[in-house]
Structure 1
Amino acid sequence: MHASAFLRLGFLALLLAVAAPRPAEAADAGQVVQLLDLPRHAALMRHATAPGTGDPDHFRLDDCTTQRNLSEAGRAEARETGRLLRTAGLADAAVLTSRWCRAADTAREMDLGKVEPFPPLDSFFRDRSREDAARRDILARIADRKAGDPPLIMVSHQVNITAVTGIFPASGEIVVVEVLQDGTAAVRARLSP
């Protein structure tokens, strides 16, 4: 094949890649903020980067030194997510969090509103028998959100978000869901850290 034909094919491939639409669920911070104004919508956020998996055998909920915690990069990630959402117009949110330190620290570092613990957001990584109850309670809390309520951000863990959405989120990723009338969650947007 002639060199100019290769160049034309390369240019065509580049043009198609640039013009291709992003996946429907990919969003920017502005889209996320708009969705969070809608009733029955909430942001499920996986805690920011905390190296490792699960928790140490000596884990205690009341002692952060026994838990897997945010790295400095994770803290910076959470602050940047908060900054992006504030810049996009999110003024004050209801922020619910798992009681695990890495989730609560993520919520506080974002600085988007008063942070309150919500036990259904606690990790059930070690106790899968809690999955159905956690999913049900998370969905019920989102379904209760009415027009005019503050935006709802729920900081949790991979297992909880996967149980609600079927998505395996990255550390620090936000998955915006709407709870439908049948009680299931529909993913409306995703925001990568």
Structure 2
Amino acid sequence: MTRSAALLLCAWLAVLSSSQASEIAAWDALREGRAVLLLRHATAPGMGDPANFDLSDCRTQRNLDRRGREQARRWGRLLRSQGIARPRLLSSRWCRARDTAREMGLGAVEPLPELDSFYEDRLQAAGQTAQLVEAVNALMPGTVMLLVSHQVNITALTGVYPASGEGLILARPLKVPAQVLARIPPP
């Protein structure tokens, strides 16, 4: 191995080690209530909602498919393996977000309207994001908390465009833009 290849390998290993340490610290912060996990709902094919969308009728909404339900169950297993078995579980009122939270099997799911999608009305983004920050920061510090929302909401809060089922561990108290401690890919 050449000297430049060895130096490149050492640099790569240092970056890898640093990112692993950062992720471990982020999970610790989540377990200690110094952070929250903000999760984009699991896989629900399509974009937006159908024209006949009705918040009270899941049949009119874009919903999780089989893969999305299994992805949510894997999140539940991952969280339990990280020592998070009974978080405070807050969700958008959209069926795909609520179903993601329920499929994790971690406890009761509480609706939080500030997590609702504003995909159809982007003019609400700044105001609703500020309301979300205020609502989360008003919740008891030290509480282990999991939030399930939508891509547009997460992007407005963090600047990150998450994949379906991707999670972000965010430092508490929340601010705009939120401090991302770790990105957790869909399990």
Structure 2 length-normalised TM: 0.85
What is the aligned partner in structure 2 of residue 192 from structure 1? 185
Separation (CA, whole Å) in 2 of partners of 1:25 and 1:59: 42
Greater gyration radius = 1
Separation (CA, whole Å) in 1 of partners of 2:20 and 2:134: 23
1:115 lines up with 2:101 in the alignment: no
Counterparts in 2 of 1:93 and 1:182: CA distance versus 1, 3 Å:
closer
1:66-105 equivalences under 5 Å are: 66-105=60-99
| Aligned with residue 155 of structure 1, among 143, 148, 152 | 148
SS in structure 2 of the partner of residue 62 of structure 1: coil
The aligned amino acid for 2:120 is: R
1:43 lines up with 2:11 in the alignment: no
Counterparts in 2 of 1:17 and 1:113: CA distance versus 1, 3 Å:
farther
What is the aligned partner in structure 1 of residue 127 from structure 2? 133
Q: Is the 8 A contact 2:136 2:174 kept in 1?
A: no
Q: Is the 8 A contact 1:56 1:66 kept in 2?
A: yes
Separation (CA, whole Å) in 1 of partners of 2:22 and 2:163: 15
Separation (CA, whole Å) in 2 of partners of 1:159 and 1:143: 20
Which stretch shows the higher mean deviation, 38-47 or 68-77?
A: 38-47
Q: Is the 8 A contact 1:43 1:175 kept in 2?
A: yes
Structure 2: any 5+ residue segments left out of the alignment?
A: none
Q: Deviations over 1:78-114 (max 9, x none)?
A: 1001101101101210111011111000000111221
Q: Deviations over 1:148-172 (max 9, x none)?
A: 42x1111000000001000000110
Q: How far does residue 34 in structure 1 lie from its aligned partner after superposition?
A: 1.6
Separation (CA, whole Å) in 1 of partners of 2:20 and 2:162: 13
Q: Is the 8 A contact 1:177 1:187 kept in 2?
A: yes
Q: How far does residue 131 in structure 1 lie from its aligned partner after superposition?
A: 1.0
Q: How far does residue 17 in structure 1 lie from its aligned partner after superposition?
A: 7.9
Structure 1: any 5+ residue segments left out of the alignment?
A: 1-6
1:51-70 equivalences under 5 Å are: 51-70=45-64
Corresponding pairs, count? 185
SS in structure 2 of the partner of residue 172 of structure 1: coil
Counterparts in 2 of 1:183 and 1:160: CA distance versus 1, 3 Å:
closer
Counterparts in 2 of 1:124 and 1:21: CA distance versus 1, 3 Å:
same
Counterparts in 2 of 1:80 and 1:33: CA distance versus 1, 3 Å:
same
Q: How far does residue 176 in structure 1 lie from its aligned partner after superposition?
A: 1.2
CA RMSD, aligned part only? 2.7
Separation (CA, whole Å) in 2 of partners of 1:58 and 1:31: 44
